[in-house]
Amino acid sequence: MRVRAEALTDKHVGFFHPPKHTLGITLAAADIATTCVGWSSFGELQSTQLAHSGLVEGVGGNILRTFSSDVATEQKVLKLEEEEGNPILEDEIAKIRHVFNAAKQRFQKIPDTLREIPKTDPKGIYVNKDLRLDNIQVFGFDYDYTLAHYSANLQSLIYDLAKEYLVNELRYPDSCLEFKYDNSFPIRGLYYDMSKGCLMKLDFFGSIEPDACYFGRRKLSRPEINDLYGTRHIGRDQAQELVGLMDFFCFSEACLIADIVQHFVDAKLEFDPSYVYQDVNRAIQHVHRSGLAHRGILSDPEKYLVKNGQLLRFLRMLKENGKKLFLLTNSPYYFVDGGMRFMLEDSLGHQDCWRELFDVVIAKANKPEFYTSERPFRCYDVEKDTLAFSKVDAFLPNKIYYHGCLKAFLQITKWNGPEVIYFGDHLFSDLRGPSKAGWHTAAIIHELENEIQIQNEDSYRFEQAKFHIIRELLVKLHATVSNGETSEDYMSLLWELNEERQKACYTMKRMFNKSFGATFLTDTGQESAFAYHIHQYADVYTSKPENFLCHPPHAWLHVPYDIKIMPHHVKESDFQKSRLPPVQISVGYGKNLLKLLIRGYNVHAAVTTNGEKEIVKKIGGLERTENGRLTMFTVDVLDYHSILEALRLCCGLFCCLDSPDKYDGKMVDSEVRGTINVLEGCAQTQSIHKIVFTSSLTAAVWTQNICSKKDVDERCWSDPDFCTKFK
């Protein structure tokens, strides 16, 4: 994002040159829009270009801000817009139409500023609860979909084996054998209603996603959903009939359930939806417990397993740093052993080397009952394929153990809850029990990488920007209704806005999955029920355990300031509520500050402890009229914590440190310390990604042609002779 030289005048965003006697930080301005587009309150859609000289941009969500209802402020707005030659539209609907038409012109192509928004790391570690890795001494792992990485072929294998079981053992129609797994249909985290037979996606608050509710393979309309449920919200009594599809079998399970329901509907056969679920679940469990899937995978590991040298690096890194490791899985040992050898064979030494990485290996643990039962451990003889009869009161090196329970595990190992972290893919079977036992938990969600990559694409962010623009215009349009009366202009604009909104929703949804959309998000950008469960049971989440290689074993992982939504998401608050901190304020600040607010920015005004009393008084007065969009902070550049408080939620920094008139050489240390505090404060935020430091704003922008439209950023240098001549 950039600022043109003209922005240094009174026309656009503006910089504010500091009074010489003031040292420090005085004003923070904010609210970057979804596509980095600024919003004029009277319909002028302008590219917001902010200086790299201190700007660090944020990312995320909403674009249009509501405007102050303060009468005096509105009068000032009108006056300013008149001064700038913008048309003043008396009719509110006409104003919204004017804005909408301008926005549609911007919809023709992706703006360059959108492409500059920082990307989210698909392999990042995302934090729901603060985690100090230096306090973690024990790392535990599930096997399937945690240590083991499977290809997409596995779901087809499970699907085919399960449908064969339904036909051969449960006497389902032979025609079911013709079913084919459709990898474009299901996502993880769906719910099946055993009373009504609907497969659906729920949002964070338990409401049905209106365009993601299916009966068989047919999507239900909103009126049909209302007829079935009366409301989109699932009540407590209805929730008892829902079963969540959360584990790595859920893709084939959801697809098979939908195909069978559709088959019965097409054949006009009566059926009980609960029987369909029970039978399909029984078939899926049989595929797993009978070893059919295990033998199928090991018979052709190249087809189903992904080799992974990075995993070995991660496990060895933990061992080299003195960490204890254990493997806790429901799978039998022969299956785990075959998979680990295949995945790591290119990097391993002798064949059984992988077992030496783990202090304890437990197979057939029968989670989640493992966490609540009192079943004893049995030592497994690998050569004889038998279980020993002797009591297990210690875990010996290179031995394999079956069954067991959490109570016995803790008694034998003496590992305390807070020093243990467990990695698993199933939120209920793998993580709910450890979470209740006081262990830290890490959810491994392979879909995360793909979803973040889609969210990073310019095309997705462009559609997201359009969606939020239209949504906010709809809010403003609805606010024009008085006494329930609507005009023809209102209805016409309402129809157009809804049509554009639906187009953006549809386009974004199909980027993820044509039937159910994104795993973590609803079509309107809210969190899904699956995301809610991640909040519940996962301290951190990522796509693969080896992503932790990017963090040293002593790292501290912190929760983002805004934890109301998933940390990996492009947030509305980053687009709409992110701040641009401190800009020094001076004479003429009033109009410029007001115009920042008019443009839709939130502003942090950080006034130094020795700032002018008159400036402090005026900012305080304006703060009281801006309904929370302007916040004043008192900071001391030598007090790091006061600076950090002002920087929170900010996406960028305008900072200029000037010396007082009576400059003393002894002030150098204070200036350096103050500058370091500002830089350290920026580094501690989750939202500031770049800082460009200059001695003064004037040095950056003072050229022979101050009215030039050339972008001003870190590549720009003033003419030394020109500066010397006019200093």
pLDDT in tens, 575-629: 443 333 333 333 344 555 666 666 666 777 777 655 555 555 656 666 555 556 6
Q: Check whether 278 has a pLDDT greater than 70.
A: yes
Claim to verify: residue 27 and residue 160 sit in the same structural domain: no
Burial of 552: CB neighbours in 10 Å, binned 0-12, 13-18, 19+: exposed
The answer to whether residue 259 sits within a structural domain is: yes
Weakest mean pLDDT among 353-362, 377-386, 534-543, 675-684:
675-684
DSSP string, 257-315: HHHHHHHHHHTT----HHHHHHHHHHHHHHHHHTSHHHHHHHHSHHHHB---HHHHHHH
Task: Give the pLDDT of residue 568.
Answer: 63
pTM for the complete prediction?
0.67
Give the C-alpha separation, 658 to 676, whole Å: 15
Residue 142 designated active-site: yes
The answer to whether residue 468 sits within a structural domain is: no
Claim to verify: residue 358 and residue 230 sit in the same structural domain: no
**302: amino acid identity, one letter:** E
The answer to whether residue 64 sits within a structural domain is: yes
Question: pLDDT band for position 696 (50/70/90)?
Answer: low
Claim to verify: residue 310 and residue 405 sit in the same structural domain: yes
Give the C-alpha separation, 344 to 107, whole Å: 49
Options 142, 160, 279, 425, the catalytic residue? 142
The answer to whether residue 393 sits within a structural domain is: yes
Domain of 290? 153-299
Weakest mean pLDDT among 68-77, 125-134, 144-153:
68-77
Q: Which of 231, 264, 299 is the last residue of a domain?
A: 299
Q: Check whether 49 has a pLDDT greater than 50.
A: no
pLDDT in tens, 18-48: 333 222 233 333 332 222 222 222 233 333 3
Q: Check whether 147 has a pLDDT greater than 70.
A: yes
Claim to verify: residue 659 and residue 718 sit in the same structural domain: yes
CA distances from 680 to 215, 314, 683, 723 (A): 55, 30, 5, 31
Q: Which of 262, 279, 299 is the last residue of a domain?
A: 299
Weakest mean pLDDT among 28-37, 114-123, 298-307, 482-491:
28-37
Find residue 485's DSSP bridge partners: 482
Give the C-alpha separation, 328 to 141, whole Å: 6
- Choose the most confident range, by mean pLDDT, from 82-96, 351-365, 467-481, 530-544: 530-544
The answer to whether residue 57 sits within a structural domain is: yes
Question: pLDDT band for position 572 (50/70/90)?
Answer: very low
Question: pLDDT band for position 308 (50/70/90)?
Answer: confident
The more confidently predicted of residues 569 and 104 is 104
Q: Check whether 546 has a pLDDT greater than 70.
A: yes
CA dihedral of 198, 200, 205, 210, whole degrees rounded to 10: -100
- Sign of CA pseudo-dihedral 159, 161, 167, 169: negative
Task: Give the pLDDT of residue 279.
Answer: 96
Task: Give the pLDDT of residue 100.
Answer: 86
Claim to verify: residue 372 and residue 397 sit in the same structural domain: yes
For the chain, the straight-line distance linking the first and the last C-alpha, in angstroms and rounded, comes to 29
> Helix crossing, 488-512 with 447-456: angle to 10°?
130
CB 254 within 8 A of CB 217: no
Instruction: For residue 474, give the 3-state DSSP assignment.
Output: helix
Closest CA to 160 of 145, 144, 176, 148: 176
Task: Give the pLDDT of residue 725.
Answer: 64
Counted domains in the chain: 3
Q: Which helix (H) or strand (E) holds 630?
A: strand 630-635
The token duo for 455 is: 């969210």
The answer to whether residue 558 sits within a structural domain is: no
- Sign of CA pseudo-dihedral 165, 167, 168, 170: positive
Task: Give the pLDDT of residue 109.
Answer: 79
Give the C-alpha separation, 13 to 595, whole Å: 7
Sequence-distant (≥ 6) Cβ neighbours of residue 495 within 8 angstroms: none
Claim to verify: residue 268 and residue 314 sit in the same structural domain: no
Q: Check whether 11 has a pLDDT greater than 50.
A: no
- Sign of CA pseudo-dihedral 464, 465, 470, 474: positive
CA angle 448, 450, 536 (to 5 degrees): 15
Claim to verify: residue 640 and residue 692 sit in the same structural domain: yes
DSSP-derived pairing of the beta strands 400-403 and 377-381: antiparallel
Q: Which helix (H) or strand (E) holds 103?
A: helix 92-106
As a whole number, the mean pLDDT across the chain is 76
Claim to verify: residue 282 and residue 312 sit in the same structural domain: no
Q: For position 420, which CATH number holds?
A: 3.40.50.1000
Question: For 321-457, where are the alpha helices, taking DSSP H only?
Answer: 333-344, 406-413, 433-436, 447-456
The token duo for 380 is: 């497994």
Q: Which helix (H) or strand (E) holds 224?
A: helix 222-229
The answer to whether residue 534 sits within a structural domain is: no
Q: Which of 403, 425, 445 is the last residue of a domain?
A: 445
Claim to verify: residue 284 and residue 319 sit in the same structural domain: no
- Choose the most confident range, by mean pLDDT, from 227-236, 243-252, 318-327: 318-327
84 dihedral zone (left: phi>0; alpha: psi -120 to 50; beta): alpha
Options 31, 121, 130, 144, the catalytic residue? 144
The token duo for 136 is: 């973690």
Claim to verify: residue 273 and residue 336 sit in the same structural domain: no
What's the rounded mean pLDDT across residues 97-119?
80
Task: Give the pLDDT of residue 672.
Answer: 76
Sequence-distant (≥ 6) Cβ neighbours of residue 678 within 8 angstroms: 25, 582, 637, 643, 653, 655, 657
Sequence-distant (≥ 6) Cβ neighbours of residue 673 within 8 angstroms: 637, 638
DSSP-derived pairing of the beta strands 360-363 and 324-328: parallel
What stretches of 395-518 adopt beta strand conformation (E)? 400-403, 420-424, 440-444
pLDDT in tens, 393-432: 999 988 999 999 999 999 999 998 899 999 999 888 888 8
The answer to whether residue 616 sits within a structural domain is: yes
- Residue that is written with structure tokens 């659906």 in the block: 200
Give the C-alpha separation, 229 to 232, whole Å: 7
Instruction: For residue 331, give the 3-state DSSP assignment.
Output: coil
Instruction: For residue 605, give the 3-state DSSP assignment.
Output: strand
- Choose the most confident range, by mean pLDDT, from 33-37, 450-454, 669-673: 450-454
Closest CA to 616 of 135, 56, 41, 22: 22
Task: Give the pLDDT of residue 350.
Answer: 59
Claim to verify: residue 271 and residue 361 sit in the same structural domain: no
75-80 LR contacts (CB < 8 Å, sep 24+): 76/594, 77/41, 77/42, 77/594, 77/598, 80/591, 80/594, 80/595, 80/598
Claim to verify: residue 245 and residue 316 sit in the same structural domain: no
Residue 144 designated active-site: yes
Give the C-alpha separation, 319 to 340, whole Å: 17
